[in-house]
Amino acid sequence: MPERTIHFVSLGCPKNRVDSEVMLGVAMRAGYVHVNEANRAEVIVINTCGFIDSAKKESVDTILELAQQKQSGKCCKLIVTGCLSQRHPEELADGFPEVDYFLGSSDAPKLERVLKGDAQRIWVGNPADWLMSATDPRVVSTRGASAYVKLAEGCNRKCSFCSIPSLRGLQRSRSIEDVVREVEELCGSGVLEINLISQDTVAYGRDRTDGATLVGVVRRLAEVKGLQWLRLHYLYPETLNDELIDVLGNHGKVLPYIDMPLQHVADGILKRMHRGHGGRRIVQVVERLKQKLPQATLRTTFIVGHPGETEGEFHELCEFLKFAQFNHMGVFRYSDEPGTPSYSQDGKVPQKTAEARARKLMSLQRRVSKQKNRELIGKSRLVLVEGPSDESEWVMEGRHWGQAPEIDGKVFLSGSEAFPGTMRNVTFTDCRDYDLVGTLDDDEQVNPVATKPAPSIVPRRRLNVVSP
């Protein structure tokens, strides 16, 4: 019997990636074999992002590109899923007759019936219908013994610029036992690094009645056998309490890596964004973190060009960036999303102005990031080896604990041989704006058995099978 082949493209955030990994697990359980090349696949699945304009455009362009495989390749079934189809199912169905099935953001388990042909063309459910669990089939796609783990789905916040609650539903937290079970299984298979994600990680457990808290689940996970690094993402600043800061600073496996999506610092903009706090609160949080966790790596994101943002408010943001000295920072240009409160606010900022502000903010951050990298030259840190570099197959790359996968930069390695999925001591010898160059200190390594071949998302974000 010939193999049934499937190809995945996953767009957007790490949370979307986990959904794609679950769908890949569903497909493999149903007897499908994953292939790297779209032209070899009988089934193509596109997991879309619909968060902002640029993400929607990328999703539409990807559908247009892969729809051509219905004529030029082996593809006989094209499936579109994720946030964009959750948001605009009818419009996509009308505009893309080549697509055979549309699923939503919480419809990963439905893929098996779709693969059997036992489904209607538009089968987009309520975004609150599903919360993944440790029993769901999943094929991890990250390189180098690293994995994302979703603590919760959805969001209860009412940020004026954000459509996530309508795309993903209100917050549903997994039980501590279920999260621990998944992490135990991942680390038992050789995973060394766990990256905890959700829309609002600090709010984990608030929707539950069993007393689950973020500190509670982190302490349990930190005891899992085989785990080396535990990193937390999306920690909103107003609820970073002393108990959590203590865990981040004093547990060997819990990394002092703090990812806070601040979005802005000017009082007027924070009020328009419905963030629930002012700029002074943010300054106090940053000051407290620098005092209590001087060794911490701080990451944040900002939005420029929100309706009403004045030159003075943008200047205030620039001055705050100089004060805060974040290790890593990302910038989004405001996207005017219908259905959000910001959409109806006046004082729209011209796109060219927003783009110029984004460039200036990144220029300021580039200098800060490079200086912080310069300060590491001559020092040694443990590095998780990920695999061959995208720049050259002859150069290996990895990350130290202050670099989160795919968003923060990397370490290019030289010296002795290194294997993906191992940890090596590295002395840093040079740096770029965001990346480091280092020499492997010795032959000792954590997890000396190289990781198994596994799907891995490359820059085009297709799920590709790679060898260690």
CATH architecture of 380-456: Beta Barrel (2.40)
Which residue stretches of the chain have pLDDT < 70? 1, 443-468
- Rounded (10°) CA dihedral 363, 368, 373, 377: 120
Domain residue spans of the chain: 4-127, 146-374, 380-456
The pLDDT value recorded for residue 443 is: 62
- Please report where in the chains the tokens 């979703």 appear, as a residue: 150
Q: Which listed CATH number (3.40.50.9100, 3.90.550.10, 3.80.30.20, 2.40.30.10) goes with 146-374?
A: 3.80.30.20
Give the DSSP letter string of 132-143.
--TTS------S
Q: How far apart are CA 134 and CA 174, in angstroms?
A: 10
Please, are residues 50 and 87 in contact by the beta-carbon 8 Å criterion?
yes
How far, CA to CA in Å, does 85 sit from each of 56, 126, 298?
10, 12, 34
Token output for 83: 């946030």
Q: How far apart are CA 266 and CA 113, in angstroms?
A: 49
In this predicted model, what pLDDT tens digit does every residue of 166-197 receive, in sequence order?
A: 889 899 999 999 999 999 999 999 999 999 99
Q: How far apart are CA 44 and CA 68, in angstroms?
A: 11
The pLDDT value recorded for residue 446 is: 57
* Fold entry, domain 4-127: Rossmann fold (3.40.50)
Please, are residues 386 and 420 in contact by the beta-carbon 8 Å criterion?
yes
Token output for 468: 């260690």
The pLDDT value recorded for residue 391 is: 79
Name which of 199, 166, 159, 167 is nearest 306 in CA terms. Answer: 159
The pLDDT value recorded for residue 322 is: 95
Q: How far apart are CA 334 and CA 341, in angstroms?
A: 13
* DSSP strand pairing (423-431 vs 380-388): antiparallel
In this predicted model, what pLDDT tens digit does every residue of 83-128 receive, in sequence order?
A: 999 999 999 999 999 999 999 999 999 999 999 988 999 999 998 8
**pTM of structure:** 0.92
Q: How far apart are CA 89 and CA 51, in angstroms?
A: 15
Total number of residues shown for the chain: 468
Token output for 158: 């009412």
Q: What angle do CA 196, 449, 231 make, to 5 degrees?
A: 15
The pLDDT value recorded for residue 31 is: 94
